[in-house]
Amino acid sequence: MDFELDKPNYGQPSVPPIDFRALLNDEQFAAVTAEPGPLLVLAGAGSGKTRTLTYRVAYLLSQGVRPGEILLLTFTNKAAKEMLHRVHDLTGIEPGRFWGGTFHSLGNRALRMYGEAIGLPKNFTILDADESETLLKQAVTALDATFFKEKTNPRPGPLFSVLSLARNTQLSLADTVARNFPQYAEIAHRFPAFAAAYTSKKRDDKVVDYDDLLELWLKLLTDAPDVAAYFNNRFRHVLVDEYQDTNTIQAQLVDKLAGHHRVMAVGDDAQCIYSWRGADFENIMSFPERHTGTVIHRIETNYRSTPEILAFANGVLNCQPKGRHFDKELRAARKHGTKPAVIQAMDDREQAAFVLKRISALVEEEGVSPNEIAILYRSHFLALEMQLALTRAGMPYTITSGVKFFERQHVRDLIAVINFVYNPANTSAWNRIAILLPKVGEKGASKIYSAALDHAKLMQQNFIDALATDDVLSKVPKDAKADWPNFCASLRQVYEAMNEDTPADAVSVAIEGWYGDYMKGEYADYTDRLEELKGLVGFAGQFTQMTDFLAQIMLLNGETSEREIQPDTECIKLTTIHQAKGLEYDVVFLIGAAEGQFPGYRTIESGDFEEERRLFYVAVTRAKNELYISYPRVASRPGPGGMMLSPSRFLQELPSDLYDELRIKRSYGW
């Protein structure tokens, strides 16, 4: 096979003098100017990781390395563009002269050039997410025409998520299901045949999906030695951003591409928080073993936070098990501020009232911009009372990690079930839940509803009972008939709970019935969504009458939709900690820092706390000036430990002199 360098990369343009010593601190300078070889740069939160990587590229260019000899691997194209544009500002060298971008984009580029070496035609096309799911559905249906008709079986989307995670982690499908998708445990033995059929169909159609861009690139480097040798010779320097987020295949790609060991991996083991989407903590921990002679550089000067916040963050790091992390200590470049504050509230509502009162003081009395205030939480349902409090107060907020709680699809579905059972004349609620049945569209839902209404009137029968009659069943599409008895029985159970028990009991029954089964097939993240719906049970527990519960939800939704936030409006930010990684705010409120909430009960049961502790570290290092950590003493719904909650173990294990405890008075003063 013949190999050619890209024409634009011939020659070495002159680079203007750059005073690296003046532009970088000591730690950054040492890493940027390090001798070529295996380098692991451990860049703590707020320490200038991107700056270090950018200047490393510029430094290599200043040493005579050609742009085409540098490979820059990132996790977003935005990150690559920003770095290479900054390199352009420093050196005058155009970004287009580098191979820089995401693993997937560069995998596509490599496969376009040399994919024929592994039997991949040059004219292959890439499937988007919807096309991939459609093709998977066709492959599975060809093997079993009834598989997707069983409501608890995964739909094509969730099934694709299972196969994708297994491919990226290179774990068996059985292990992947056991670890991440326990709702599919009983049918996991069928998945390997589905995966094989899907792979075969892609090959026949000459298409690849997103995951193939990594898998086939690795196959190319493994099965075509001449291609691997070319890339090794071509890219004399391999640089990797956010290395702690690499999955198994990505780490293997880096090892293959950097067979010469002139590789710089930049990351922070303490910020590895994405194992649920394939990131492998062991990749960064075992980097020195896989690249003999690795020199480790630590960048620990933090430009973001006050010394008091960093002392708290260092305390979290010090609680990690010995030998299971790289030692590091963040040092502050800023002046002193106030200690982080820990607040015990009576319940979720008092916690929300405290946060609201403190935010009002920050904005109105201290001049802090709402844009610089963030409320962080481990899981969406923990922010329910906070959203309600902000809405009632008319305080604008945005949720950067998704839609508001009552606008989330599964929450709206469940509320529609409750609304319909409470008031069968509510055809909007009926249509929302009926079309969740197989092959039932809006017209079909209307026909079923009309048949039930006619029967109920004729027989002077309750509408819910009329749904279960043969007259109505005759209007149900063939594909939905198997679901129909369970659907009707579930509605009847909700009706009974609604009339005999509390609103919270009715919501619990709705979750445990037909809709809970539906969610298993519809959502790959079923367990997380189930937790959110259980949070709704806690909210319903505040009410003794169903009419009050539903009225409160409708009022809140109405207030939210009517108060459209203009693009230039300053807003409080609400976000999960995962979505906040890489961001920073003047003031951070971390809510729900209780055992059973953060860490959650599932983590407590598994006994694997290390990623949760790293997540806690990521949360506290988002704060620049002030950090407030709060937890409720009484749970909104009973957990394995009952109603009473204790502070998160991540707080309890810290020395008490790292924070101040604030006491809430009943007037919500402190």
Residue-wise pLDDT tens digits, 206-235: 999 999 999 999 999 999 999 999 999 999
**What ranges make up the beta strands (E) of 75-178?**
99-102, 125-126
Is 50 assigned a ligand-binding role in the annotation?
A: yes
At residue 562, the pLDDT reads: 43
Domains 20-115+213-299 and 313-396+567-663 equal at CATH topology level: yes
- Say if residues 26 and 52 touch (Cβ distance below 8 Å): no
* Residue 415: closest CA among 539, 563, 287: 539
At residue 13, the pLDDT reads: 66
At residue 573, the pLDDT reads: 95
**What ranges make up the beta strands (E) of 293-451?**
295-299, 301-302, 331-332, 341-345, 373-377, 397-399
- Say if residues 414 and 536 touch (Cβ distance below 8 Å): yes
* Residue 340: closest CA among 306, 304, 368: 306
At residue 392, the pLDDT reads: 85
By residue count, the chain amounts to 670
Is 169 assigned a ligand-binding role in the annotation?
A: no
At residue 556, the pLDDT reads: 67
Q: How many CB atoms lie within 10 A of CB 286?
A: 12
DSSP string, 458-516: HHT--HHHHTTSHHHHTTS-GGGTTTHHHHHHHHHHHHHHHHHS-HHHHHHHHHHTHHH
Facing residues of 511 across strands?
none
pLDDT at 670 over 60: no
Is 92 assigned a ligand-binding role in the annotation?
A: no
pLDDT at 579 over 50: yes
Band (312; pLDDT cuts 50, 70, 90): very high
Is 119 assigned a ligand-binding role in the annotation?
A: no
At residue 124, the pLDDT reads: 93
The answer to which of 3-7, 228-232, 395-399 has the lowest mean pLDDT is: 3-7
Is 22 assigned a ligand-binding role in the annotation?
A: no
Cα atoms found within 13 Å of the Cα of residue 281, Cβ hemisphere only: 16
% of the chain surpassing 70 pLDDT: 94
The model's pLDDT over 520-576, given as tens digits with 9 standing for 90+, comes to 999 999 988 998 898 888 888 889 999 888 888 877 665 544 445 566 789 999 999
pLDDT at 667 over 60: no
What tokens were used for 326? 């790289």
Is 96 assigned a ligand-binding role in the annotation?
A: no
What is the end-to-end Cα distance of the chain in Å, rounded? 74
What tokens were used for 564? 């459209």
At residue 402, the pLDDT reads: 64
Is 78 assigned a ligand-binding role in the annotation?
A: no
At residue 561, the pLDDT reads: 45
**CA–CA dist 449, 456 (Å, integer):** 10
Mean pLDDT over residues 476-496, rounded? 92
At residue 339, the pLDDT reads: 98
pLDDT at 353 over 80: yes
Facing residues of 236 across strands?
none
The model's pLDDT over 654-665, given as tens digits with 9 standing for 90+, comes to 999 999 999 887
pLDDT at 179 over 80: yes
pLDDT at 2 over 50: no
Ramachandran sector of residue 101 (left: φ over 0; alpha: ψ -120 to 50; beta: rest): left
Band (10; pLDDT cuts 50, 70, 90): very low
CATH homologous superfamily for the domain 20-115+213-299: P-loop containing nucleotide triphosphate hydrolases (3.40.50.300)
Mean pLDDT over residues 254-282, rounded? 94
CATH class of 313-396+567-663: alpha beta
Residue spans of the domains in the chain: they are 20-115+213-299, 127-205, 313-396+567-663, 407-555
In terms of average pLDDT, the best of 266-270, 524-528, 555-559, 639-643 is 266-270
The model's pLDDT over 506-517, given as tens digits with 9 standing for 90+, comes to 999 999 999 999
CATH homologous superfamily for the domain 407-555: PCRA; domain 4 (1.10.486.10)
> Long-range contacts made by residues 642-645, C-beta under 8 angstroms, separation at least 24?
645/594, 645/595, 645/596, 645/597
Mean pLDDT over residues 31-47, rounded? 95
Band (6; pLDDT cuts 50, 70, 90): very low
